[in-house]
Structure 1
Amino acid sequence: MSTFLLAHDIGTTGNKATLFSKDGDVVASTFYGYNTNYPQVGWAEQNPNDWWKAVCHSTKELLQQANVLANEVASISFSAQMQGVVAVDQKGQLLRDAIIWADMRAEDEAKYLSDSLGFDTIYEITGHRISSSYSGAKIVWIKHNEPDIYQKTYKFLHVKDYLIFKLTGKFGTDYTDASGMNLLDLSKKEWSSKIVDAWGIDGEKLPNLYPSTYVIGEVTNTASAETGLQFGTPVVMGGGDGSCAALGAGIVEDGDIFNYIGSSSWIALCSSEPLIDLEMKTFTFAHIDENKYLPCGTMQAAGTSYQWVRDQIYQNVIGNVGGRKNTYDVMNEEAGRSKPGANNLIYLPYLLGERSPWWDPKAKGSFIGLHVTHTREDIARATLEGITMNLKVVLDTFRKYHGHFNDMWLFGGGAKSLLWRQILADIYGVEIHVPKLLDETTSMGAAIAGGVGAGVIKDLSVAKEWVKKDDSHLPNNEHRQLYDELFHIFQDAYKQLAPINHRLSDLHSKRG
């Protein structure tokens, strides 16, 4: 009987392929990397053939590593980077390299739509601010700048959609990926004719829409020969990486909420309705469950901020740590020797500008209140606290619409720090739960979608059973009172410094 679930997580740096049992155990995992090309400043492209090569290679390696036969695989499903564009002709042949999420070339196209329909209208329809990072503006850029390719394009696909075509010969996308395009009417789960018409996009070039658990096709003979998978194995749509991560975190019921901390960080929750925030601090994706939504807030430089402190201030430690310790262990130990509040030192974590909650690309990072008595320990702790306070602005936005949250799941590399877990609990004022598997969330969500689609798993609620708790942290009320006071100063510091930071950005632009 086919009982194993194969999930491919197609990220920006490579493909992480994971084989799960139907009970949620990781049987084997492997990684295959590829490159990103940057033809011009602000452009980011990848060759989709590299993704396919990664899928073929990692699938064979995974089956061999796990000693699993191809006929024991019940389904193949995907999670993948979102907000890209893959242009293919009617035979599925590539017409150009893929424009990926990090590409920001389509600023003029985004501005045109905003001027035509209005910023608020676009947010109300799609659940997102208009941005050149989304797929819709990129499609219009191709239309304006590469008209021959636009005319030849049969379908504009996402990353996972192209790989699904390679496996099955079928075209389509799911609601989660579609919700990251600035083209989907989020409430109706259909392409918005108002936006499609305003942008002048040929609607026939957009793929058909399916639920994430939909079996879109089966592995073809050609794909079987290239991947080692059995002919006829069901291929399930899966979803965008953010939505898959939420499912893998067990976020399936209204009010379920989680925080992921990696290089960037986000907080997301499950809701029966899209969240239309009047201040537009947050945005909303479709959930893997086609009847649910995923309000979300994403900040730019979470782990990146801590890495910057490591590289700039802990240079004497890097490479000189013995035993099982690494540089971050030393940083956490030192940060733990600083008192909560880091001796009244506040860090604004805006090294890369900011998305949620301020949506300010000209925001700058800074330490506020720096004094000669401050130590390296204070700087390390203030960095962790500043990242967390920025995320609390997002969390408080969700509280405004959904009320109080008692607890929250934490995932990603940041969850490895015991100190950071406690800081999160203290600043958020919620109990923090940490799973045993910190880095399999996204793949796990894709595998669950695949298992439901193939009929191996009863429904998506099994996600709560797959997430195994390793530890929990309750907030320290004494620390929380201190953090509440500093939190107000933190927000005021951003607002007061914003005009100065904008002037600095403008000055930098003038000087090139």
Structure 2
Amino acid sequence: MTEIIGVDVGTTSTKVVLYDQAGTAIASANHGYPLYQTEPEMAEESPAEIYDAVVAGIAEVTEKATQPVAGISFSAAMHSLILLDDQFQPLTRMLTWADNRAAAAAEQLRALPNAHDLYANTGTPLHPMTPLAKLVWLAQTKPKLHQQARWFVDIKAYLLQRLCGQLVTDYSIANATGLFNLHTFDWDPQALKLAQITATQLPQLVDTTTQLIGLNETVATKLKLSPTTPLIVGASDGCLANLGVNAIEPGVAAITIGTSGAIRVVTDAPKLDPHGRLFCYYLAPHRWVVGGPVNNGGNVLRWVEDTLFSAEKAVNEGTDRSTIEMMLALAAKVPAGSHGLLMHPYLNGERAPLWEATARGAYFGLTARHSRSEMTRAALEGICFNLAHVAKMVQALTGPFTQLQATGGFTRSETWLGILADIFDTTVTIPDSMASSSLGAAILGLESLGQISNLTAVKTMIESTRQQHPNPTNVQNYQELYPIYEQLIAAYQPIFNQLSKFK
């Protein structure tokens, strides 16, 4: 028997989990890092701080290994961008998906006569989250920096280069850059021209099961691993989350709500939305992940806490009392539909379903009768209504969902799970493992190492689940409200840009 390490490099922290061959977690570590936002729309992180978190996490779990570590497999957040010099030293911090400074550049891309061809070739919606839009923005606003760079890389490529001296990007991460042609499995010439870079400035493209041998000896000694320990390149966190919750068969959808959120389903071939609103990303041969990401998830609930429950939050600071739990308890006492109060949760702009960086949130139907309890529940309902809107688009492309697998921090709340099940009118299954992307990375690594025959082995690795069933009365209420929710979006979406210009 051997053990394998799954590393999930996330937006706020890196989670590292040690698994046995059966997919059972033996040990885990989680190390965070700060987000730098010193100017409007900025969202950057330090590559060096992320590297330190990764090494510290791996070192922490290898201390608890009971069998030889067969390999380390990687998951990483999508859409990151770092500029490096010819010595692989960062010229910039890492621009995360949430960095919105390329909004004007994204608008320019969407206005191109062949904009839909660009989406059809890459499977990536045209949005400021993408490295393509960020590179256009950098070429326009910081041309000297753009010209100074030798390499343009994602965070996983940077980490692997430091760990083993090889600069590679897997098809899955590359697919989310807006620079990768999903038909040719190569960098897309049209996208490169728009970004004003060449393929020689990008990492070598490899499959997600590729093994890299040659762990830096100093790092290997620190980690107490052999320098020949394989590093499995892995895939993107969203794609691996589907694998980690056993949502890789047709019709089985994975829904995630953490800080942000997403809904995704796996197909056996690329499927592209005629309107360019959904992503299509590679996971493994004959497995493509189709779905939509949303900017607004748990961060909306945090805004409600900071805005409506600031006094309680101040009192609870430094204690074991949770303001969020108190808010959820209040929301549970409010009937479905929040007494006619709707919230559009677009507090942080929005990706799917709107793809509007200038989107703005709103409460609609507010009366003197409503209290912060209704406003809290309406926020939870708004997040789920928004995901239902995305799900409708996905199902139009891939077919109806037969199962809904849930993951993310929201699964700890029975109230929130109940709202989701009622709005979707579907039983929601919650896998026991919370670290779905880490587990997905480990499973991909086990296949690469020949220790499992194929990815369907995940079925035997999720030992126990729980389910949340819809409430028929609540379902009826939400089916009455959802069309109103959509009508309101259509009514005020045209004024988003006007509002964004008003200071």
TM above 0.5, yes or no, is yes
Q: Is the 8 A contact 2:18 2:61 kept in 1?
A: yes
1:39-438 matches, cutoff 5 A:
40-64=39-63, 66-68=64-66, 72-89=68-85, 91-107=87-103, 109-111=105-107, 113-116=109-112, 118-142=114-138, 153-287=149-283, 289-318=284-313, 319-320=315-316, 326-438=322-434
Amino acid at match of 1:437: S
Provide the rounded CA distance (Å) in 2 between the counterparts of 1:113 and 1:389: 29
Give, in angstroms, the shift of residue 293 of structure 1: 1.1
Query: 1:504 maps to what in 2?
Result: 499
The root-mean-square deviation of aligned C-alpha atoms, in Å, is 2.6
Q: Provide the secondary structure at the position in 2 that maps to 1:301.
A: coil
The amino acid that maps onto 1:504 is L
1:465 aligned to which of 436, 450, 460:
460
Structure 2: which amino acid aligns with 1:238? G
SS in 1 for 2:74: strand
In structure 2, C-alpha distance between the alignment counterparts of 1:150 and 1:389, rounded to whole Å: 40
Q: Deviations over 1:190-217 (max 9, x none)?
A: 2112322344421211222111111132
Contact 1:106-1:132 at 8 Å conserved across structures = yes
- Deviation by residue 1:331-353 (Cα, 9 ceiling, x = unmatched): 22222221121222111111112
**Partner secondary structure for residue 28 of structure 2:** strand
Structure 1: give runs of 5+ residues left out of the alignment: none
1:25 aligns with 2:14: no
**Matched-pair contact (CA < 8 Å) for 1:37–1:45:** yes
Letter in 2 for 1:427: I
Cα shift readout 1:392-415 (whole Å, capped 9, x = no counterpart) = 111111222233223201111111
Q: Which moved more, 1:182-191 or 1:480-489?
A: 182-191
Supply the distance in 1 between the matched residues of 2:457 and 2:84 (Cα, whole angstroms). Answer: 36
Say if 1:212 and 1:290, in contact at 8 Å, map to a contact too.
no
Contact 1:55 1:227 in 2 (8 A): no
Q: More displaced, 140-149 or 93-102?
A: 140-149
Could you tell me which runs of 5 or more consecutive residues in structure 2 were left unpaired when the two chains were aligned.
none
2:128–2:357 contact (8 Å) kept in structure 1: no
Measure the CA separation in 2 of the matches of 1:497 and 1:257: 30
**Residue by residue, what CA displacement relative to the aligned partner does 1:103-149 show, whole Å, maximum 9, x if unpaired?**
33445554554455532111111112223321123345555666666
State the alpha-carbon separation in 2 of the partners of residues 136 and 408 from structure 1.
32
Alpha-carbon distance in 1 for matches of 2:244, 2:291? 15
Pairwise CA distance, 1:303: 1.3
The Cα offsets for residues 262-292 of structure 1, whole Å up to 9 and x where unpaired, read as: 12111111112333222333222222x2322
Aligned residue identity for 2:71: S
Q: Kindly tell me: are residues 322 and 79 of structure 1, through their superposed partners in 2, closer, same or farther at Cα, counting changes over 3 Å?
A: closer
Maintained 8 Å contact 2:127/2:351: no
**Contact 2:118–2:190 (CA<8 Å) still a contact in 1?**
no
Q: Count the aligned residue pairs.
A: 502
Q: Percent identity?
A: 30
Shift, 1:259, TM fit: 0.6
Q: Distance in 2 between matches of 1:222 and 1:140?
A: 38
Q: List per-residue Cα deviations over 1:437-477 (Å, max 9, x = no partner).
A: 22x11111111122222222322112232234431122223
1:156–1:503 distance in 2 versus 1, CA, 3 Å: closer
Moved more, 219-228 or 103-112: 103-112
Query: How far apart in 2 are the matches of 1:113 and 1:134?
Result: 11
Cα distance between partner residues in 2 of 1:460 and 1:400? 26
The TM-score with structure 1 as length reference comes to 0.90
Q: Distance in 1 between matches of 2:17 and 2:343?
A: 37
TM-score normalised over the length of structure 2: 0.92
